[in-house]
């Protein structure tokens, strides 16, 4: 089901995946262990500068997976995708966007070590 205009298959860029979790959940996140997620809206900021670009990465997040690859896969298997925001650009916006979202919406329920394995951004 495509509910957004799919980017060019080779276009690289940055994105924000907005998910809605309808109820509180205790979710096992691979080697990190269990995390308690409160019902609500979650935003995951990512980048897609490798093979397949934005189209492949976003489609990955929108499909449930039996073999989660990234931490977000565990949450996106349960939460409902609401929106995808993206920038088709070679400019790497991931850290800038993550910092803005953190400043605007930090709720005190951030998860140390969740995502952000390639940077020092808070999650």
In this predicted model, what pLDDT tens digit does every residue of 29-83 receive, in sequence order? 988 889 999 999 999 999 999 989 999 999 999 999 999 988 999 999 999 999 9
Residue 73, domain member (yes or no):
yes
Number of domains forming the structure of the chain: 1
Residue 121, domain member (yes or no):
no
Listed residue (88, 1, 4, 12) closest to 52, CA to CA: 12
Cα 98 from Cα 119, distance rounded (Å) = 11
pTM given for the model: 0.83
Residue 99, domain member (yes or no):
yes
């Amino acid at each position: 089901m495509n509910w957004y205009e799919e980017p060019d298959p080779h276009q690289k860029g940055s994105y924000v995946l907005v998910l809605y979790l309808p109820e509180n959940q205790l979710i096992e996140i691979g080697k990190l262990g269990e995390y308690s997620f409160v019902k609500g809206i979650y935003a995951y900021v990512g980048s897609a500068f490798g093979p397949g670009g934005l189209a492949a990465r976003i489609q990955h997040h929108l499909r449930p997976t039996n073999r989660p690859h990234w931490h977000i896969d565990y949450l996106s298997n349960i939460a409902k995708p609401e929106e995808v925001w993206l920038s088709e650009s070679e400019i790497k916006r991931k850290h800038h966007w993550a910092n803005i979202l953190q400043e605007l919406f930090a709720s005190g329920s951030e998860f140390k070590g969740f995502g952000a394995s390639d940077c020092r951004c808070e999650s």
